[in-house]
Amino acid sequence: MPSHELSRLQLLAEIDALLAQLRAWSDRAPDWPPARAAAALVDRLQARAEQVRLRIEAPLVVATLGGTGTGKSTLVNALVGAEVTTAGRERPTTRQPVLVTRPGFKPEWLGIDPTSVRHVEADSPTLADYVLLDCPDPDTSEDPASASSNLAQLRRLIPQCDVLLVTTTQQKYRSARVADELAEAASGVRLVFVQTHADTDSDIRDDWRRALGDEFAAGEMFLVDGPAALRDQQQGLAPRGEFGRLVQWLARQLAGTARLRIRRANLLDLLDESLAACRARVDAGLPQLEQLESAIVEQRTRVATQLAERSAAGLTRHRRAWENRILAEVTGAWGLSPFSGLLRLYLGLGGLLSSLMLLKMRSTAQVAIWGAMEGARRLRNRWSAGEAELPMGDAALTLVDEETLRTGAVIVDGYAAEAQLPRTGTHGTVISGQTSQMVGRFAARVANDVQELVAGLAQRHTGWFTRLRYELLLLVVLGGLFFRWGRNFFYDSWLAVEFGRSEQAAPLLGTDFYWGTAFALLIWCGLLLWLFTGRLRRGLSAELKQAERRWARPELTAGLFADLEERLRAVRVWREELIDLQTRTSALGNQALSPSESLGQRTARSTATSAS
């Protein structure tokens, strides 16, 4: 396959891939004014890119751009070697654009409306690789809003151009009107800067280059005398001097595969500038989105703090019920042992006392009174255990104030209005539904954390060291008491006399000893229980405080303002895709297929760039 055909196919493939990616990105634009504006800009860019695609095989369109009297028409005549367009130095001469092509060429092949130009055919070697378009002067006093004005005609034709011959003179090169039009027209085209009137003006190219500043890479600049060059060709003389260098340079830069490179580079530049304009519009709206995002986080934090405080308060209020659960976990893990039995006795103390009271009942009335008291006690315990459980479902809504939600919705709605996002996510019915689901998830999370908290505390209090310490403390006292009773009963009162160790048996310990011993044992067991449950209570309080801090995070109220959050996420993702498009476009532009650097181009990106 010829290299020219391969280059054409590669260019078509690149354009098709870029257009497909652009179209997909534009179709995913979120419902947000800056995004819609950016999508509209991309739609216009796609139309222009499609024109480039259709003109892949057509000659380059080389158009003139310059102020009145800068020699645009004269330069066209000199390049063609014949007077194909009317020239004039003092007043605007080119009223209608003039398209100069080789014989048999049709303007439609370039996407140009034949009625919008005066078509001139010329048999000139110069027109083998490109066509010339003599554009109207931009610096006229006409109303630019008029469809027939020079500016209107110029702006309709610029999108069809590939290269601009920017002409100027010593008097015109700092014209603000022409500079504005150049900045507008330079998007997606290559530039050739030509100073005319070489017969009368001083060479201002260096100063002109400085005047262009950082916004343009000037590339090669030329100083020509158009009328003299035309006379030479009319006399059959070959182009010479600076004009001859311009003719040869154009033939070298605009012929063959260079045409494809120029069109590729123009398209990438246009795409790069348009994407930069899209990003500027999107980024201009980001501060309002960030404020809205911060407001949502702030209101979620307020709700989460309130939920955490009320949940922790409810757990603290019924701390005894949770302590009993932990004690039940501990006794279940320890099985049968002295201290475990003491803990079981402590847990069932109410039922034990009630049973002892039943043993003392002597009449039916007393039993009835006991039954009523026992029933009330069990109902109270069951109610307390139920209160200790975190509310779920509709009951969980009592954990958050309606006033807090209403105030938060009003605040978020104001920020959503400033961010220009749809505000359906702040309506009362939507907030109520989101709150119900969010609080339910929050309560489920808290309930799960509490179960883990109980299991963790129980595990920490069932370690072998903790168990050994309390078991030994209880066993030492019990062992001492049993040793004292056993020595008295078996040895002092009996065996000592039998074995001759004592002449008289010691009397058995009386009830005073047993009552005192029971009281001392009760005090000791109470002390051990107080130490164990106190340590358990402190651990539970500390865990609840830490849990309250964990629950006061906005992540746990993520369902609140979910619609707005989804819109914010969509904008973020869409912006990241835009950055990816910019990166890909820049990477393609940095490849080795770029045209010669001697061709001028626009370098600075303007946020006001239009894709038209």
DSSP string of 292-331, one letter each residue: HHHHHHHHHHHHHHHHHHHHHHHHHHTHHHHHHHHHHHHH
Q: How far apart are CA 407 and CA 485, in angstroms?
A: 73
In this structure, is the dihedral angle defined by the CA atoms of residues 155, 157, 162 and 168, taken in order, positive or negative? negative
Which helix (H) or strand (E) segment holds residue 221: the answer is strand 221-223
- Note the pLDDT of residue 392: 42
Q: Which of 275, 260, 257 is nearest to 18 (CA)?
A: 275
Regions of the chain short of the pLDDT cut 70: 1-5, 7-8, 11-12, 53-54, 88-95, 139-148, 349-399, 425-429, 500, 591-594, 604-612
Q: How far apart are CA 579 and CA 573, in angstroms?
A: 10
Going by their DSSP bridges, the two strands 130-134 and 98-101 should be labelled as antiparallel
CA distances for 391 relative to 301, 386, 396, 432, angstroms: 20, 9, 5, 17
Neighbours of 286 (CB within 10 A): 15
**Residues whose CB is less than 8 angstroms from the CB of residue 448 and which lie 6 or more positions away in sequence, other chains included:** none
Q: How far apart are CA 300 and CA 477, in angstroms?
A: 56
- Note the pLDDT of residue 611: 38
Q: Which of 120, 156, 114 is nearest to 136 (CA)?
A: 156
CA angle 547, 551, 552 (to 5 degrees): 120
Q: Report yes or no: 439 and 396 within 8 Å, Cβ to Cβ.
A: yes
- Note the pLDDT of residue 143: 62
Provide the 8-state DSSP code for 174. T
Residues facing residue 130 across a β-bridge: 60
Residues facing residue 191 across a β-bridge: 164, 600
- Note the pLDDT of residue 285: 92
- Note the pLDDT of residue 111: 82
**Cα 124 to chain center, whole Å?**
57
Q: Report yes or no: 132 and 79 within 8 Å, Cβ to Cβ.
A: yes
pTM value?
0.70
Neighbours of 463 (CB within 10 A): 10
**Joined tokens for residue 122:** 């010329």
